[in-house]
DNA sequence: TGCTTGCATATTGTATCCAATATTCGATAT
DNA sequence: ATATCGAATATTGGATACAATATGCAAGCA
């Protein structure tokens, strides 16, 4: 006898659980740039030994979310204005390509979901809401491309800059413009204009880049 | 007193050494698709305990070079024709963009280096030679872009598919065409025609994709 | 005071040991 | 013969213990 469903729900390893939790904390900005990740401290928080903690930190390092130095430990990786600029350029390139591939294959359900995220975004009250709904809105528009490698790279890139994206949205002119541009992108998708959707996505990202850089350099 | 040079040569951790060695073995194809990575076995090879081995495997998993299952271990990650096709598309997109950014900033030394790699490629005798020189040739042309995030993503992508790239070059029509196309790309760089260099790079990669897919599907 | 030196403490890196799970293989029943 | 069960073995996941290195601090000295 074979009952697959029983084996499907694999309990995650402690290392994975710790990794997800730390990643969330970094992405959401609860751990600020440069904040140290002490193995002992984290191990106590999760009631484990340091071994799974170390594996979690190793994963984070591979993702570029922390930087470690031998015998000195890991700290949350920051981002310089130059890096930020480059990453936004990268996003424009890849996300533009992916949405262009996705539009012809985009289902009505996807469009409806996107619309609901757009609404939730405009009704959001906190930077966390804006960030979450913004990300949901964009990634749902990419999903139907079926380009899993691209999607994975985009996810990792967004993880890397999520904090800064949120900060950018919270700027004075961030929200209103994002809303306007989201509306235009979704409209292009709805009328199946892949080229225009891609163009608008690129402009949306590059505009956010300018906005963010003005702010980063100001500090 | 400050003597920097003494502290520069950091001895790498065992985990890092093992990671580099395993990565090399996977990239070079010494460990074939699906080959299991036994922690005990590897630990003995490096005269260490399994702890650094596990961290090395964790790194490889994050890179997508191995796939692990809880309590079952890690095996070298293969690649399906669909994934291969997508990754070659991704390469065309990103590498085309990066070389376009690099050409205006490309130094004469870079061009000379590229020429030397091109020569070494054409004179190579084994798939390993071809693969190495091919990769050197391409990446040197990207370097002067200064787009470090893009460069990092490209490196990881090439690591992921290095084995298949090598196999593609070794196909009957692989070498001669690669040589011809490399020559054309380099010529465009030398006359500072960024647009053309980018276009040729994209065509070069997409052509290789077709060649590879024909071969993958045949098996 | 300002600087070095050496020790105590803190932190990370690794080895060893135990626990949890998977796999193999033989015995048994049908 | 084939299928099923269960114990023995193999393998991975994690806890504890120890080693290597970094950091902070206080004593000593100019």
What are the sequence ranges of the domains in chain B?
4-76, 81-218
Of B11, B93, B148, nearest to A86 by CB-CB distance is B148
Residues B35-55 pLDDT 10s: 999 999 999 999 999 999 999
Please compute the mean of the pLDDT values over residues B60-82 and round it to a whole number. Answer: 95
Please compute the mean of the pLDDT values over residues A178-199 and round it to a whole number. Answer: 97
Q: Residue A69: beta bridge partners?
A: A73
Q: What is the pLDDT of residue B3?
A: 41
Structure tokens at B35: 């080959």
Q: What is the pLDDT of residue B10?
A: 61
| pLDDT bracket for residue B174 (50, 70, 90) | confident
Report if CB B55 to strand D is under 7 Å.
Answer: no
Is B175 or B59 the better-scoring residue by pLDDT? B59
The DSSP call for residue B76 is E
Distance of alpha carbon A83 from alpha carbon A71, whole angstroms? 27
Distance of alpha carbon A177 from alpha carbon A164, whole angstroms? 17
Is the pLDDT at B76 greater than 50, yes or no?
yes
Report if CB A50 to strand D is under 7 Å.
Answer: yes
| pLDDT bracket for residue B4 (50, 70, 90) | very low
The DSSP call for residue A9 is S
Smallest CA–CA distance from B54 into chain A, residue? A55
CB proximity A59 to B under 8 Å: yes
Q: Between vectors from CA B71 to CA B68 and to CA B75, what angle results, nearest 5°?
A: 30
A21 CB burial (10 A radius; 0-12, 13-18, 19+): middle
Please compute the mean of the pLDDT values over residues A164-178 and round it to a whole number. Answer: 87
User: Could you tell me the fold of the domain covering B4-76?
Assistant: Arc Repressor Mutant, subunit A (1.10.10)
Q: With an 8 Å Cβ cutoff, are B83 and A149 in contact?
A: yes
Q: What is the pLDDT of residue A68?
A: 96
Residue A88 backbone phi and psi in degrees, to 5: -65, -35
Chain A residues whose CB is inside 8 A of the B59 CB are 58, 62
Please compute the mean of the pLDDT values over residues B108-130 and round it to a whole number. Answer: 94
Q: Are A97 and A198 in contact (CB under 8 A)?
A: yes
**Which of B80, B65, B2 is closest to B35 using CA atoms?**
B65
Q: Between vectors from CA B141 to CA A195 and to CA B136, what angle results, nearest 5°?
A: 120
Is A33 or B174 the better-scoring residue by pLDDT? A33
A108 CB burial (10 A radius; 0-12, 13-18, 19+): exposed
Of B13, B63, B70, nearest to A62 by CB-CB distance is B63
CB proximity B49 to A under 8 Å: no
Q: Residue B73: beta bridge partners?
A: B69
Distance of alpha carbon B34 from alpha carbon B174, whole angstroms? 26
Interface test with chain B among A14, A15, A58, by most B beta carbons within 10 Å: A58
Q: What is the pLDDT of residue A174?
A: 77
Distance of alpha carbon B68 from alpha carbon B66, whole angstroms? 7
Q: What is the pLDDT of residue B171?
A: 82
Whole-number percent of chain A with pLDDT over 90: 84
Whole-number percent of chain B with pLDDT over 70: 95
Whole-number percent of chain A with pLDDT over 70: 95
Please compute the mean of the pLDDT values over residues A94-111 and round it to a whole number. Answer: 98
Q: With an 8 Å Cβ cutoff, are A153 and B148 in contact?
A: no
When the pLDDT of each residue in chain A is averaged and rounded to a whole number, the result is 92
Q: How far apart are the first and last CA of chain A?
A: 64
| pLDDT bracket for residue B219 (50, 70, 90) | low
| pLDDT bracket for residue A7 (50, 70, 90) | very low
Q: What is the pLDDT of residue B104?
A: 98
When the pLDDT of each residue in chain B is averaged and rounded to a whole number, the result is 92
CB proximity A40 to B under 8 Å: no
**Which of B153, B155, B62, B11 is closest to A58 using CA atoms?**
B62
The DSSP call for residue B103 is G
Q: Residue B74: beta bridge partners?
A: B37, B68
Q: What is the pLDDT of residue A171?
A: 82
Sign of CA dihedral B127, B172, B196, A200: negative
For residue B158, the distance in angstroms to the closest alpha carbon of chain A comes to: 13
Report if CB A10 to strand D is under 7 Å.
Answer: no
Structure tokens at B81: 């024709």
Q: With an 8 Å Cβ cutoff, are B150 and A90 in contact?
A: yes
How many cross-chain Cβ pairs, A to B, lie less than 8 Å apart?
59
CB proximity A38 to B under 8 Å: no
List CB contacts of B38: < 8 A, sequence separation 6 or more. Answer: B73
Q: What ipTM was reported for this prediction?
A: 0.91
Is the pLDDT at B195 greater than 50, yes or no?
yes
| pLDDT bracket for residue A3 (50, 70, 90) | very low
Chain A residues whose CB is inside 8 A of the B86 CB are 147-150
Distance of alpha carbon B125 from alpha carbon B122, whole angstroms? 9
Q: Residue A4: helix, strand or coil by DSSP?
A: helix
3-state secondary structure B153-177: HHHHHHHHHHHHHHHHHCCCCHHHH
Residues A54-70 pLDDT 10s: 999 999 999 999 999 99
Report if CB A52 to strand D is under 7 Å.
Answer: yes
Interface test with chain A among B58, B98, B99, B205, by most A beta carbons within 10 Å: B58
List CB contacts of A174: < 8 A, sequence separation 6 or more. Answer: A168, A208, A211
| pLDDT bracket for residue B8 (50, 70, 90) | very low
Q: What is the pLDDT of residue A1?
A: 36
Strands B36-37, B73-76: pairing kind? antiparallel
**Which of B181, B183, B27 is closest to B92 using CA atoms?**
B181
Distance of alpha carbon A79 from alpha carbon A160, whole angstroms? 9
| pLDDT bracket for residue A8 (50, 70, 90) | very low
Distance of alpha carbon B149 from alpha carbon A98, whole angstroms? 19
Of A10, A62, A83, nearest to B59 by CB-CB distance is A62
Q: What is the pLDDT of residue A5?
A: 37
| Architecture of the domain whose range is A81-218 | Up-down Bundle (1.20)
Residues A75-102 pLDDT 10s: 999 999 999 999 999 999 999 999 999 9
CB proximity B198 to A under 8 Å: no
Q: With an 8 Å Cβ cutoff, are A86 and B54 in contact?
A: no
Least confident among A22-26, A201-205, B56-60, B168-172: B168-172
Q: Residue A37: beta bridge partners?
A: A74
Please compute the mean of the pLDDT values over residues A110-134 and round it to a whole number. Answer: 94
For residue B107, the distance in angstroms to the closest alpha carbon of chain A comes to: 21
- In chain B, how many H helices and how many E strands? 10, 3
Interface test with chain A among B149, B152, B159, B164, by most A beta carbons within 10 Å: B149
């Amino acid at each position: 006898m074979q009952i697959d469903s029983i084996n499907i729900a694999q309990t995650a390893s402690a290392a994975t659980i710790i990794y997800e939790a730390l990643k969330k904390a970094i992405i959401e900005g609860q751990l600020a740039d440069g904040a140290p990740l002490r193995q002992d401290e984290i191990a106590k928080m999760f009631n484990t030994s340091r071994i799974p903690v170390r594996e979690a930190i190793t994963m984070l390092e591979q993702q570029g979310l922390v930087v470690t130095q031998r015998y000195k430990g890991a700290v949350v990786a920051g981002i310089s204005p130059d890096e930020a600029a480059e990453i936004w350029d990268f996003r424009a390139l890849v996300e533009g390509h992916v949405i262009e591939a996705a539009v012809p294959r985009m289902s009505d359900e996807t469009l409806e979901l996107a619309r609901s995220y757009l609404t939730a975004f405009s009704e959001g009250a906190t930077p966390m809401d804006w960030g979450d709904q913004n990300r949901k809105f964009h990634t749902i528009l990419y999903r139907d491309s079926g380009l899993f490698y691209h999607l994975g790279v985009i996810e990792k890139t967004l993880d890397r800059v999520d904090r800064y994206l949120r900060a950018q949205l919270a700027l004075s002119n961030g929200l209103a413009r994002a809303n306007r541009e989201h509306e235009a992108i979704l409209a292009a998708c709805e009328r199946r204009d892949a080229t225009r959707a891609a163009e608008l996505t690129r402009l949306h990202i590059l505009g956010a880049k300018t906005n963010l850089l003005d702010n980063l350099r100001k500090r």
